[in-house]
Chain A
Amino acid sequence: MNAPDDLLPRLTALAGRRFGPRAATLGPDEDFFEALGIDSLQALDLLTELEDAFGVEVPDYELQGVNTFGGLAEVLRSRL
């Protein structure tokens, strides 16, 4: 089980590997769709990576309105 405190840095690091160094420097409240120019299919791909990395299952609808790493970390935390 992951300690909730390291969840955000792990998530950011993973996004950095997936979407380039800009992603790794993104603040928890920045809109990643806008900042990284990613589309919904790339967002789903990130979701797949997160599910694998954290060993959780997150239905897509849990991501409705989620557009920041802070928000994403909250969703993951609720599933750990």
Chain B
Amino acid sequence: MTAFLGRTLSWDLRERVLEVRLHRAPCNEIGLQTLEELERLVDHLVGGGGGARAVLIHSGLESGFCAGADLRALHAGLKERREQGAPARALRVARRVATRLGIHRGEGLAGRAAERVHRALVRQAIGGFIDRIHRVFDSLDTLPLPTIAAVHGPVFGGGFELALTCDLVVADKSARFCFPELRLGILPGFGGIPRLERDVGNAVVRDLLLTGRSLGASRAHELGLVSQVVPRGRALEVARRVARQPLRFDPEVLGPVKQFAKPLPARRLAEERRRFVRLVAEPRVAEALDDFVHRTDARPYLP
């Protein structure tokens, strides 16, 4: 299968380069459907990629490369779980038990028990999603082929983390890189901190995390995060030329050399996952998400 057309992304093989195009409006937010199609992509590549010798990831949407995780889906999922799911059932059971046993202030105990159940279930559900994301991103990161991201506009959160799995980033001048996660009470959970530490350094990680600021393409280039900055609208065309260069090298040599040059920060990734899953079940995250999805002003992305 050299071509695929999914609901969130598509790919086709062009001159031995597998071109992956993200196309989920409004700005390629990563939810379950994107994850499933990324898993399909990784399976395809691990199975030989139909003869692909390089991978190029870009966005087919004018709005940008990727605005990050699908926060609206996350919000809806958490809300549904809270309103209809186990916490309500747990609360009913706990109330019955408390009443039967004649426990003084049983209502409070029941509420706290239900909240603990809720958090455990959120950690379990989101932990499962994060495990799958990590498997996909780690596979992309360690593919024995050169991988290139061509980015423009917002490269935020999970989108930034997706770009960081690639070996080289070609940025259109409009690209902006940002880790806005702390605004939601979480840390980046798709491998962003360990990869940015590896590729650029921890001072940049701290600058982005602790201020929530975004970096323009030129600044990202100065820092070494971006390989080339190109005029608006030219990233894909330049990235195609970049992707053709390693085709001249023997893949038997290129694969192991890349693996040596780009070690997977496995220990830090595992630690990030643990911290993310713990934080995401806190009530402040649900509140921040609620605030995000209900904001009607024009400035939800500004820090």
Contacts and interface: CB of A to CB of B under 8 A. Distances in A.
Interface in A26-72: 33, 37-41, 43-45, 47-48, 51-52, 57, 59-61, 63-64
B228 interface: no
B201 interface: no
Contacts of B214: 44, 60
B64 interface: yes
Nearest to B178: A60
Interface in B193-252: 211-214, 216-219
Interface in B100-118: none
Contacts of A64: 302-303
B300 interface: yes
Given A57-B216, A59-B211, A59-B213, A40 B298 contact: yes
Contacts of A41: 27, 63-64, 67, 153-154, 301
Contact of A52 (B64, B218, B299): B218
B173 interface: yes
B299 A33 contact: yes
B218 A51 contact: yes
A45 B174 contact: yes
Name the prevailing secondary structure of the B interface residues.
loop
B298 A38 contact: yes
B21 interface: no
B176 interface: yes
Nearest to A32: B298
Contacts of A57: 216, 219
A41 B64 CA distance: 10
A53 B88 CA distance: 56
A42 to B, nearest CB: 9
Nearest to A67: B299
Contacts of A44: 154, 176, 214, 301-302
Q: Which of A38, A39, A63, A64 has most chain B Cβ within 10 Å? A: A39
Contacts of B63: 41
A77 B298 CA distance: 25
A61 B176 contact: no
Nearest to B172: A48
A61 B303 contact: yes
A40 B216 contact: no
A48 B216 contact: yes
B70 to A, nearest CB: 16
Contacts of A39: 298-299, 301
A32 B218 CA distance: 25
Given A33-B299, A40-B301, A48 B212 contact: no
A45 B153 contact: yes
Given A40-B298, A63-B302, 18 more contacts: A37-B298, A39-B298, A39-B299, A39-B301, A40-B299, A41-B67, A41-B153, A41-B301, A44-B154, A44-B214, A44-B302, A48-B216, A51-B216, A51-B218, A51-B219, A52-B216, A57-B219, A60-B213
Interface of A: 33, 37-41, 43-45, 47-48, 51-52, 57, 59-61, 63-64
23 contacts: A37-B298, A38-B298, A39-B299, A39-B301, A40-B300, A40-B301, A41-B27, A41-B64, A41-B153, A43-B298, A48-B176, A48-B216, A51-B216, A51-B218, A52-B216, A57-B219, A59-B211, A59-B213, A60-B214, A61-B211, A61-B303, A63-B302, A64-B303
